[in-house]
Structure 1
Amino acid sequence: MGLSIRTRGGATLAGTAALVLAGGAVGCGAGKGDGASGSERTVQQVLTVAYEKTAEAKSAKVEMTMSMPAAMDGGGEATMTGVMGWDPTVMDVTMKGSMLATEGGPEQVRMIWRDNVMYMDMGAESAKDMDGKRWMKLDLAAAAKASGDEAVTKQMTSGLENMNQNPAEQLAMLLESPNLKHVGSEKIDGAETEHYKGTLTVKEMMASNKNLEVLEPKDREKLLENIEKSGIKGYDTEVWVNEDDLPVRMDVGMETPQGNVDMSMKFSDYGAKAEVEVPPAGETFDLFEMLKDLEGMAGDESSLDGSGV
């Protein structure tokens, strides 16, 4: 079915979106009335206003592109387009690209997120093996809670929160970083913008990412160690803010031993309706419940084998 590859691809895109970070050093940008004296503002002032306006908008249309080295697990290229909202978090996007390239798999996958649950349309072919149900349900929080393992629960919940990142939260993290600079004025899709660029080390990213606070200190150290072992030293980040003080594009690049990981997200139509409807229960199968059933069947067979029957 190729399910694990497709699921990993979607999670990778969403998780990497959480790393769209940059620093907040002194710089100048085209000024607007935010209480600052003169016609120019510091980077911190620009991004603070951008954060406030983005948080207030609560939704936008999004176009995301991502490229990962073929040598990397889940590598390839992918695009995601659709609408996302925050406070509360909702998402309705379609993903396609070589990350989904599995034998018999769909050419594109629609992903819906609401109430902290992800639904993925696995296509008509997959539905043939699932009693006509084509939508896979992923409830990480429920799975973590059912595990009964506090460490697992914290880690899975943290992963869930990272997937829930939105541009407002990304801008909030930008303000915590030390070395963002103003590059200049540019046009993005015909719109006048101010371009900012910076870098963030792994330690700085972890320090500014509030979602990682759910982890115990030893777990945070282990995560840092694992990231550093992967060869990732930091993140090159760029953000473009338009005349309305809203981010219209965010890019992040990471150098790894396998090659570069590059991601770009474009935002438009802030305040667009994000009324996301989940698929009917009759067309949905719960991956977590399915795996529990399979585990139970395996346990029953093991008991039979052990009884000598």
Structure 2
Amino acid sequence: MVFAAVLLAGGTVACGGSSGSDSANEDPPKVTPATAVAKAAANSEDIRSLHYRITGTVPEKGRLEAEASMNTEPLAMSLKMTAADQGGDSRLKVRFVDEVMYVRGSAVDSEKLGGKSWFRADPAAWGRGVVDNQSYGVLPRQIEGSPVLQSTLLTGSKDLRMIGTETVDGTRTRHYKGTVTSRGLLAAREGAVDEATRERLIQSLDQFMGLGVSDTLTMDLWIDSDDHAKQFRMPAASDDKQAGTGGGPLDLTITFLDINQPVSIKIPPSEDTIALADGAQGS
């Protein structure tokens, strides 16, 4: 909410990967949908860095587009985003490094910057649990969570099915679909066969709650030949009570462009940053 004082238009991001259907005559994979989805979720633990894009809509913000890179250890992220429905030129660059958030872009009120290029705010957190995330209203809550963790949500589905084989961003994938509920994730957690699976499901439940959706989330997941998530889509009605000010549709598509490739996220020079609180006070 503090950021309302320094942004010309509040906004965020999204961007979607398109997928084209391939031949319907290809043999289906010799694994069940549940096994395939569980394997992709387990393999998500091997992801140390990720380059991805987001497209779609989020409650109250409308259409968003973004491209981002992240490291998981230590957790850091760099994001470029555009809020298409916010009016005017609503572009932002956002970085999270060492529990500090840095923001710049055309959507920032330059008069509040005092000649600097970046606002900074701390403590700030992204990609963690719902309670721990803090982006000072710059990011919609739906993209404050780590896409690596969000990609594992489908492990709690009871109606998984394979749709077919499709090409996503030039990569051959298997397309799966199912519905997820908090009740289903809780049941799956209780029935977990090992501690690692139980921990993933605990994280999945946290991510589900962070999306602010009503009880049921429909999810599509595309898995590549290396058994990694390549893309997922989450369309759902929002929970007005969680959204706080009216809700609206959620429909995000997140595409993994590269995994485990070198990612460098730089801290802006200290002399070119101004504290968010100082900018809000006009100092």
TM-score of the two chains, using structure 1 as the length reference: 0.63
Q: Does 1:133 align with 2:116?
A: yes
Rg comparison, structure with higher value? 1
CA deviations 1:192-250 (Å, max 9, x no partner) are: 1111111123554688553877xxxxxxxxx89xx68xxx3421110100111121111
CA contact (8 A) 1:162 1:211 kept: no
Unaligned runs of 5+ in 1: 15-28, 32-39, 143-153, 214-222, 298-309
Match of 2:172 in 1: 192
Q: Superposed, which structure 2 residues align to 1:115-134 within 5 Å?
A: 115-123=98-106, 126-134=109-117
Identity level (%): 21
Match of 2:20 in 1: none
Q: Superposed, which structure 2 residues align to 1:169-184 within 5 Å?
A: 169-184=149-164
**1:177–1:87 Cα change, 3 Å:** farther
Match of 2:87 in 1: 101
Structure with the bigger percentage of helix = 1
Match of 2:54 in 1: 64
For 1:45, what is the secondary structure of its paired residue?
helix
Distance, in Å, in 2 between the alignment partners of 1:204 and 1:117 is 35
For 2:156, what is the secondary structure of its paired residue?
coil
Match of 2:198 in 1: none
Match of 2:11 in 1: 9
Which of the numbers 47, 56, 68 marks the counterpart of 1:82? 68
**1:211–1:168 Cα change, 3 Å:** closer
CA contact (8 A) 1:50 1:247 kept: yes
Distance, in Å, in 1 between the alignment partners of 2:87 and 2:131 is 26
Match of 1:248 in 2: 230
CA deviations 1:144-193 (Å, max 9, x no partner) are: xxxxxxxxxx9752567985533432244432333322222112233211
CA contact (8 A) 1:79 1:95 kept: yes
Q: Superposed, which structure 2 residues align to 1:1-309 within 5 Å?
A: 9-10=11-12, 31=29, 40-68=30-58, 73=60, 75-101=61-87, 106-123=89-106, 126-140=109-123, 156-158=131-133, 165-204=145-184, 208=201, 210=203, 232-256=214-238, 260-288=249-277
CA contact (8 A) 2:28 2:164 kept: no
Unaligned runs of 5+ in 2: 15-26, 136-140, 190-200, 241-246
**1:200–1:290 Cα change, 3 Å:** same
CA contact (8 A) 2:90 2:107 kept: no
**1:6–1:100 Cα change, 3 Å:** farther
For 1:51, what is the secondary structure of its paired residue?
helix
In the alignment of these two chains, the number of paired residues is 238
For 2:11, what is the secondary structure of its paired residue?
helix
Cα RMSD (Å): 3.8
For 1:110, what is the secondary structure of its paired residue?
strand
